[in-house]
Amino acid sequence: MTDATDEELRSQVRAWIAQDPDPSTRAELTSLLDSGDIAGLRARFAEPLVFGTAGLRGPLGAGPARMNRLVVRRTTAGLATWLAAQHGAGDGSLVVGRDARHGSETFATDTAEVASRQGVTVRALSRPLPTPVTAFAVRHLGAGAGVMVTASHNPATDNGYKVYLSDGAQVLPPVDGAIAEAAAHAARDAVAADRAGEPDGRPSGGRTGAPVETVDEPALLGAYRDAALACLDSSAARELRVVYTPLHGVGGAVVPALFAAAGFAPLATVAEQAAPDPDFPTVAFPNPEEPGALDLAVALARERQADIVLANDPDADRLAVAVPLPDGSWRMLSGNEVGAILGEHLIASTKGDDRLVATTIVSSTLLASLAREAGVAYRETLTGFKWIARAAAAVPGKRLLFGYEEALGYAVTDAVADKDGMTAALVVAELAARAKADGTTLLDRLDAIEARLGVHATAQWSLRLGGDGAAAAMAGVVRRWRSDPPASLAGLGVTRVVDLALGTGTLPATDAVVVEMGKTARVVLRPSGTEPKLKAYLEVRTPPTGDAALAAERARANELLAAVRREVAARCSPD
């Protein structure tokens, strides 16, 4: 719609208003029309939301470039049409879950209503629950697809719509395109037919309405609990003082009971963040990666002399871990560090030639080293758990033992074909309790890995961009790196540049550039698929040195990493 004339744009807006079921978003567009705010209208229509790394996600508001009821209803109409055309993919039903964000209950209700009117049996979760529970439910209930209404760790102004296929993993190409085209077709029909104002609400083609069933949540949560507990050693140590925060999200509805069932003492939950609150009042961003997000949890941990801090993001699919240092301060482990600790544990505690571990192009290469050491298959994927969850599909005879992404996402059981911050929290807690019983720590485990396989120092640089030109600005920076890559970074000569927009033998095309400096360093630059951010992922590697020289090698690697980061930041200013 970018090239539409002003009058064409006004016509599109009027057509949208005629179908929009929400008085507040109708009023928003009407006000912009009446005031002649063409720029405001273009911001809401020029770049419609599309399926990205984790489904549809964006700010709440009117028009196809925002999250609203009409976007949800049209997308659901497309999903229902696509689902009805499938054969042999589950039982054809649709699981619908939601978090506790602004608009989530309404969007979930709209999803259930539209799908059921188009003949799809809906199995709805009656209250806000974590994303991993919805992902688990799709496969556990044998459904044909699932929808989770969530924006995960995004700001309070956002919401989203995540689609799962019958395998319990997130939708991926070309299915997302087929759903989008079916939604566009439903919208065109609505404009042309007598269904204006309800483009997706009436049965067509002879179909009749189907029921909306409420899922037996105690049974579902019991099955999820059993799958999570199966990841643990019931005879292992459990003495551990844990501080937990769901960051104003829905993890508190499940996690404390999981820990109790596993035999841990009651969690000390951060009171100010325990209940769901869509405004996330105690944090600037409800993302445990963001500076300050764990401040309240760490303060409580100091007060309680806790052994560990565990934090979920608002939909509980991510996990942050913080541990105390000898000087009394606390350190949050990076996603790559937790990934290495979990990966080593799961590799060492299992057997079989069918094991495969996977991570993404932007994560550390340490998991690859661990897999190589143990003779376990390894796969590198594009960013996003829709790819990680299916990493074993392209490798005959293999199963996914463990998958992770550096953005605090971990899959420690194949019972959930998505990242699961709750089950991962259980496994991390068990490892911490074992270490405590042995007189060691999780940091000692990490030291042992890097002493054996070399330091893998990682960092991330990001630039948050605002305004409606953010996507174009991010693409422009990546384009510059693609056409004119650096010859060196921090004194390290660039030995290879991989343009992932062209795809590789094992990876589909994506908007990212990989810059390698021999075996010493790597930079991956890409626009975020979930936020208006430009991201660079950095890694510096050193050869194995053993315990004695580990501290010196780590200091050297971090110094070099900081230099690489400075040069990347200098080269990434937008046009």
**Whole-angstrom Cα distance, residue 57 to residue 383?**
16
Is 329 known to be catalytic?
no
Residue 288 contacts residue 243 (beta carbons within 8 Å): no
Torsion, CA 271, CA 273, CA 276, CA 279, rounded to 10: 140
Beta-bridge partner residues of 309: 243, 322
Which residue in 330, 369, 370 sits closest to 350, CA to CA?
370
Q: Cα dist. 110→51, 94, 200, 222 in Å?
A: 19, 13, 10, 28
* DSSP letter for each residue of 423-487: HHHHHHHHHHHHHHHHT--HHHHHHHHHHHH--EEEEEEEEE--STTHHHHHHHHHHHHHHS--S
User: How many Å apart are CA 389 and CA 387, to the nearest integer?
Assistant: 6
Buried b (16+ CB within 10 A) or exposed e, 1-10: beeeeeeebb
Backbone angles phi, psi at 122, to 5 degrees: -110, 135
DSSP category for residue 494: P
**Rounded to 5°, angle at Cα 293 from 290 and 298:** 130
C-beta of residue 293 within 8 angstroms of C-beta of residue 247: yes
Q: CB of 433 within 8 A of CB of 238?
A: yes
DSSP symbol at 384: S
Give Dmax over CA atoms of the chain in angstroms: 77
Of 212, 200, 210, 207, the C-alpha closest to 78 is 200
C-alpha triplet 21, 22, 26: angle, nearest 5°: 100
Q: Which of 104, 116, 152, 528 is catalytic?
A: 152
Structure tokens at 60: 């709440």
The secondary structure of residue 80, as a DSSP letter, is H
Looking at beta carbons, which pairs linking 549-555 to residues 24 or more positions away fall under 8 Å? 550/447, 550/450, 550/451, 550/455, 553/454, 553/455, 554/450, 554/455, 554/457
Active site residues: 152
